[in-house]
Amino acid sequence: LVAIRLELDFEGWKLRDTFTWNASDDVTSYDDFARGLCEDYGLPDNSFIPLIREAMATQIAEHVQTQALRPETTSKDTKGRLTTLRIPIKLDITVGAMNLVDQFEWDILDEDASAETFAHTFAADLGLTGEFETAIAHSIREQVDVHLRSLALAGHSFDSLYVSDDELRGAFLPEVSTVSRSGQDIEDHTPRLLQLSEFEVEKLERERERDNKRKRRQTRGR
């Protein structure tokens, strides 16, 4: 599954959406999906179908390229050496006027870890709506994909925990040395729900759009 993010603007129209796409799906075309999306949101299809198609094709191609650069499986000789390769997952999600902020660790080498299962449990524990559940799963997949793509483009072999690229190494967490956290760590890794004003929602959306554009430029520039 590929985490797709659409942030499209055309002549006063804005489309902001996130979803996952099966990269192996050869039944549904990008155009058919885009046409349905335009119908659902009442968007001018002549203008938005090409934009949606291009955005989807670019992100799916990046995902496929990343997977192609990775070895299909680790050999029996090297598999035993792998333990975990953890990254910090940071959530900053706004649904309506409710903002969720949290941080936790995720092992990108664990192929059995399901973003959707985690998001379902997380949302249920906090009593969050289905929109939050979908957004949480998407955010996890998106951040994992960014790290995997960066590793693949840097030539990481995936049969070692050592990341040779100095800059890239800083994006991963060190080996666990203790099971307890400091007071500040506990605060940073505790979910927070904030009720925002209309002004705060608009300000947060503008900041997030700028941040997402910056991240996309950095990722494609690696």
Q: Classify each residue of 163-200 as buried b or exposed e, where b means 16 or more C-beta atoms within 10 Å of its C-beta.
A: beeeebeeebeeeeeeeeeeeeeeeeeeeeeeeeeeee
pTM of the model: 0.76
User: Which two three-digit tokens encode residue 47?
Assistant: 């203008």
Q: Which residue has the tokens 């998106």?
A: 142
Instruction: Give the closest residue to 104 by CA, choosing from 25, 27, 188, 17.
Output: 188
Whether the Cβ atoms of residue 59 and residue 4 lie closer than 8 Å to each other: yes
Averaged confidence pLDDT in the chain: 83
Q: Which position has the higher pLDDT, 103 or 222?
A: 103
Answer for the pair 146, 108: CB distance below 8 angstroms, yes or no: no
Q: Which of 76-80, 90-94, 206-210, 215-219 has the highest mean pLDDT?
A: 90-94
- pLDDT tens digit sequence for 188-214: 788 999 998 888 888 888 887 787 677
Edge-first strand order for the sheet with 86-95 is 86-95, 98-107, 192-195
**172: which DSSP letter?**
S
Residue 210, classified by CB atoms within 10 Å of its CB into exposed (0-12), middle (13-18) or buried (19+), is: exposed
| Separation CA 16–CA 94 (nearest Å) | 13
- The counts of H helices and E strands in the chain are 8, 5
Cβ neighbour number for residue 152 with a 10 Å cutoff = 17
- Checking if the pLDDT of 162 tops 50, the result is yes
Q: What is the pLDDT of residues 113-155, one digit of tens each?
A: 999 999 999 999 999 999 999 999 999 999 998 888 888 777 7
Among residues 141, 124, 142, 123, the alpha carbon closest in space to that of 132 is found at 123
Q: How far is CA 55 from the centre of its chain?
A: 15
CA distances in angstroms from 14 to 59, 170, 188, listed in the order given: 19, 35, 33
